[in-house]
Every structure is written in structure tokens, then in C-alpha cells.
Amino acid sequence: MDGIVGPATLNALNNASTSTTGSSTVNSSTQETASDIVAYSKKFIGVPYVLGGTSPSGFDCSGFIYYVFKNGGGVTVPRTVATLYQSGKSTSTPNVGDIVFFDITGGPSHAGIYIGNGQFIHAGSSTGVTIASLSNSYWALRYLGSKSVL
């Protein structure tokens, strides 16, 4: 034995304490915070995309997540997609309020907030803040997974 944990083992370990059936392991306080975050995020639909943006005058994807979690749920999360991806606990299926990640440019390079029913809200470079489907052909091909930060 070399003690090195490969990607499959790491994923299994990360998911060992995560429910595979959705929110059954999520406590009511977490569910309430997730609901608050999702409700707050929807107030920004239509706000334009601005590279490096972290305010309602314009967001990039991680700036949107950072702003919404902080102001809509009182939760401080990392500011960039890379650091968001390194934090949190991997989930086998996203729960409301989880962050969903995508590979646009090689590795985790785009993120959004899962809002339920196979949908996520995000600040897209061509759309601004909008709701999209994980099953959309563009997003489905680039989906990396979800992580819980709550």
C-alpha cells in the first residue's frame, strides 16, 4: 500500500456521508438557508455579465455566487471558481443551494447555484444572470458535479 488516494476513492470517500436521495441528510436550518439563497438569487435575473463583477451592477459567475451567498444567506464562500471547487463537500446529486460546476476552458471554470428541478441560476457571459437546465446539451456536456458549502 502506498497510501495514495486516487480520484475514484476520493469521490467515494467524499460521498460516503452524502445522501444519494437528495435532501434527506440536510437539516432544516440548512434547507432554510438554501431556500433563502435561491429566493435572493432570483432577484438578479437579467443583471448583465461583467468580468470580475461582484455587485448588482454586473456579475461574473463566481462573483454572483459570492454576493448571493453572503447577502442572501449570510454565508461567506470563496471568490473564484477554482477556490469554490476546492471547498465544499461533493454531492452525488445536487441539492437546492449546492454549487454546480462546469468545465468550459479546461477544469472547473464556470459555476452556478442549483435551484431544484434540474435547474441552476448563474451569470453567463452571453446571458447575464439567468436560469438554465442541467440537461441543456451545452451544460450537460460540460457538467463536472456539485458541491455543498452549507
Task: Using the Cα atoms of residue 124, residue 21, residue 37 and residue 146 in order, give the sign of their dihedral.
Answer: negative
One of 122, 123, 145, 150 is an active-site residue; which one? 122
Burial 52-62 (b: 16+ CB within 10 A, else e): ebbeeebbbbb
Q: Give me the catalytic one of 26, 62, 110, 147.
A: 110
In the set 26, 34, 37, 61, the catalytic residue is 61
Helix (H, G, I), strand (E, B) or coil at 54: strand
Whether 125 is catalytic is no
* Cβ burial, residue 143 (10 Å; 0-12/13-18/19+): middle
Longest dimension (CA), the chain: 54
Known active-site residue 61: yes
Is 32 among the catalytic positions?
Answer: no
> In the 3-class helix/strand/coil scheme, how is 87-140 assigned residue by residue?
CCEEECCCCCCCEEEEECCCCEEEEEEEEECCEEEEEECCCEEEEEECCCHHHH
Catalytic residues: 61, 110, 122
